[in-house]
Amino acid sequence: MLYHLFDYLQKHYDLPGAGLFQFISFRAGVAMLLSLLISLVIGKYIIRWLQRLQIGETVRDLGLQGQNLKAGTPTMGGIIIIAATIIPCLLLARLDNVYILLMLFSTIWMAAIGFVDDYIKVFKKDKKGLKGIFKILGQVGLGLIVGITMLVNDEMVVRMDPETAAKNKYEVINSVFVADRATGEQNAFKELVHVKAPITNVPFFKNNELDYSRVLWFLGDNAADLVWIVFIIMTILVITAVSNGANLTDGLDGLATGVSAIVILTLGVLTYLSGNSVAADFLKILYIPYSAELVIYTACLLGGCIGFLWYNVFPARVFMGDTGSLTLGGIIAALAILIRKELLIPILCGVFLVENLSVIIQVYYFKRTKKKYGEGRRIFRMAPLHHHFQKEGYHEVTISVRFWIIQILLAVFTIITLKIR
């Protein structure tokens, strides 16, 4: 809203300073500060409101250190992160940008699923919450919406040279002429095209690009007609996996919030690089026109997470609940897909991945050994993995901080992959 207001004031009244709002870096900085302030200020009021409603965490006795101290701590605190993300984004982002609109929709969509889950647990006193099938359907629905929008919207394009576009038979939306930095001539320009294509960045390979139609190589010329199926399936799998991974990671004070903040910061860097033609050309990654506006969104989300962490570190005054964890996972996945970095998710979201795998491995091994030996056996003392370390006697602060450190290493390695061919 403010972008459009100051844009109008600059064009019609030449208001001094209004031009600052044209710069993404300025708006991103203001957005992060505003988001941080909102989460810090409204956080305490939301916590009191949740306490008055007696929306507290019901803790099962799992034999974990300090577990009883968590009983009665307000949950559904993800509302703080969501409010601190949406409000400054509405104020400072361009609301005519399809990437911003899709991320705002994704936030509200996943928040609604998480809220219903928490509502059933807290008010209906059903510890199981929303049935798993409905959570999956919600995640699949978001995957369909994100995938289809990327395939049909004319603004969700990538830039490449005309020869490559013609060779791969991509749908060309428009042509642009840019300064040719390769020749070094002062007035030299080259033609580039914006295309709609099911392609993404892939780490460790020389050209750093993957056309999803290669997955259907056995179909020959028909691969291009059916590639949308592969793309949408990939979108659904990424959103479902990351959303559930974030949900499983939310088990210790500050753990999921801190890990998510590091992931979001990294995605913010990747978003800036992908939306900047000079940086994208230097790194030989896909340049995605119009996507730079997502830097504003990531700044809002990062500020909201850091502000929430103020209240969520040990001893937590509030838990994010599924309202926060499902939402964070879903929008992290959606953001990675929009900037075409979803194949970096196994590295970037390594903590979420390991937490997911620890549960899958534990359940599979337990069922298999129960069938074979008559009694179930376990690989981990408890799953998800962070509870295994609690059973080993580690304090939850130690576990959370060490997981943060691991996530920082994964984030740095994710950035490094942009130059590893």
3-state secondary structure 353-406: HHHHHHHHHHHHHHHHHHHHHCCCCCCCCCCCHHHHHHHCCCCHHHHHHHHHHH
Mean residue pLDDT of the chain comes to 89
In the prediction, which pLDDT does 410 show? 97
- Average pLDDT of the residues in 312-335: 95
Q: How far is CA 135 from CA 112, 247, 335, in A?
A: 10, 11, 20
- Average pLDDT of the residues in 247-261: 95
Give yes or no for residue 246 having a pLDDT over 90.
Answer: yes
Give yes or no for residue 325 having a pLDDT over 80.
Answer: yes
Cα 243 from Cα 327, distance rounded (Å): 7
Give yes or no for residue 61 having a pLDDT over 70.
Answer: no
Residue type for 116, please?
A: V
Q: To 5 degrees, how large is the angle CA 119–CA 355–CA 353?
A: 110
Give yes or no for residue 78 having a pLDDT over 60.
Answer: yes
pLDDT tens digits for 301-317?
999 999 999 999 999 99
Give yes or no for residue 223 having a pLDDT over 90.
Answer: no
Compute φ and ψ for 177, nearest 5 degrees: -120, 130
Contact assessment for residue 195 and residue 160, using Cβ atoms and an 8 Å cutoff = yes
Q: What is the domain partition of the chain in residue ranges?
A: 29-155+228-416, 158-223
Whether the model clears a pTM of 0.75, i.e. scores above it, the answer is yes
Confidence of residue 360 (pLDDT cuts 50, 70, 90): very high
Give yes or no for residue 297 having a pLDDT over 90.
Answer: yes
Which two tokens mark 410? 């994964």
In the prediction, which pLDDT does 59 show? 55
In the prediction, which pLDDT does 16 show? 76
